[in-house]
Structure 1
Amino acid sequence: MKLIEPKLSYIEKTTFDECLKEMKFQDIHIDENYEREMNLDHLTFDGCLFENIDFNTIQLNHIDLIDVTFDKCDLSNQNFDHQYLNRVQFKNCKLTGTTFIETNLKDVLFENCQGRYSNYASSSLQNVYFKHTDLQEASFYDTHCKKIELKDTSLIRCELTSLHHKGLDVSSCQIQGALFDLQSLKNLVINDFQAVDLIGILGVKVK
């Protein structure tokens, strides 16, 4: 899938302390942890590169992301609900329990991430690529998918009901125990082995 990558041409290395002085997170590169607890509210991260950051001491509230890359960061249980993410990359990140409910995601990459229990319910996903990512027991309930690709991704026990899509391809994914309904199955692209897992939803028994 062709995604528009984050524009990070003019970033400068800095620290959380420097950014907090002006409460401005724009065109920056941070690769060291912030040891104290802090809350960041109603901000936009624009043109940012975060590397090796543990966000467990940082509470993100109402944060929009534009041209942002997170590499080897822990964003577990963070809340990106009702926000806007454009040209964002999550690489080698921990996203356990992270929520993106009713969020607009455009040109977003999830690569080699741990996203178990993450939640994308009622979100809009346009040009979104999940690659080698663990989405076990994640929720995509009522999610609107437009140009979304899933490659070698675990959807085990994932909730995929009331899904809005046109030909979503899950043929390279693990879907054991995933929850589908008839709406979500329509036009879904699967492989021969997955058909056995899904045929029971149609009330058909294989003898």
Structure 2
Amino acid sequence: MSSKKEKIEAPKIPAYLEPITLSDYELEDEQILTDGIFQDCEITNQTGYKVCFDRLRFTNTTFRGINLNKAEFTDVVFENCDLSNINLNESIFHRVIFHKCKLLGVDLSGSTLRNVVFDTCYADYAVLRFANAKLVKLMNSSFAKADFFSMNISSIIFEETNLDQTQFSQTKLGGIDLSSCDFESLGASLEDLQGCIISPMQAAVFASLFGLVVNRD
């Protein structure tokens, strides 16, 4: 369920971080990167298994051809970054902020998200199927046509976010407040939507999902 009483923890990052360049790190399996900042750079064609990112900041960084299966991100901030179409499946995110990022088609399937904020992000077609999300906030963002199939969600906030044609099948939305979000259709069953909070204007959209006609006279 969504609970605005539970506070999302912010990343715990030192005030000063040493600059890190790509030449300093060619990713290896189970490598640990910590206490640094990647800024105004492009990270390309990196592959790693269980790589750990701890107390890091990524600013104006573009990721291309990245495959990081089961990575772990703890106390990390991504700002003005492009993570489109990269593979981060089955990864762990704890105290992570994505601010003004492009995440078009990013693969976060099977991932665990705790204390994560997506703020002013473009994440259409993002894949979060089978993800486990708790204390997560999506705000002022677009997740249109994203795949939230069979997610386990609790204490999650959707605020002023585009969810048009987003897939929620087999994801329980009871207690989840979608009333401030934009959508013309959702991929969800009546069972999925049981107890979901919507606005009066959205009622007609939900009715149309099940073949009902709203008489506006």
Q: TM-score, normalised by structure 2?
A: 0.88
- Give 2:17's aligned amino acid: I
Q: How does 1:1-207 map to 2 (within 5 A)?
A: 1=4, 2-9=7-14, 11-20=17-26, 24-34=32-42, 37-56=45-64, 58-207=66-215
- Give distance in 1, aligned partners of 2:112 and 2:27: 29
- Give distance in 1, aligned partners of 2:79 and 2:54: 16
Contact 2:43/2:63 (<8 A) preserved: no
Q: Give SS of 1:97's match.
A: coil
Contact 1:150/1:169 (<8 A) preserved: yes
Q: TM-score, normalised by structure 1?
A: 0.92
Q: Give SS of 2:203's match.
A: helix
- Give distance in 2, aligned partners of 1:101 and 1:83: 8
RMSD (Å), alpha carbons = 1.9
Give 1 or 2: higher helix fraction.
1
- Give distance in 2, aligned partners of 1:164 and 1:36: 37
TM-aligned CA deviation for residue 201 of structure 1: 3.3
C-alpha spacing 1:181/1:21, structure 2 compared with 1 (3 Å): closer
Q: Give SS of 1:60's match.
A: strand
Identity of aligned residues (%): 27
Q: Which moved more, 1:129-138 or 1:158-167?
A: 158-167
Gaps of 5+ in 1: none
TM-aligned CA deviation for residue 178 of structure 1: 1.6
Contact 1:144/1:165 (<8 A) preserved: no
- Give distance in 1, aligned partners of 2:21 and 2:177: 41
- Give distance in 2, aligned partners of 1:163 and 1:21: 35
Q: Give SS of 2:174's match.
A: coil
Contact 1:146/1:165 (<8 A) preserved: no
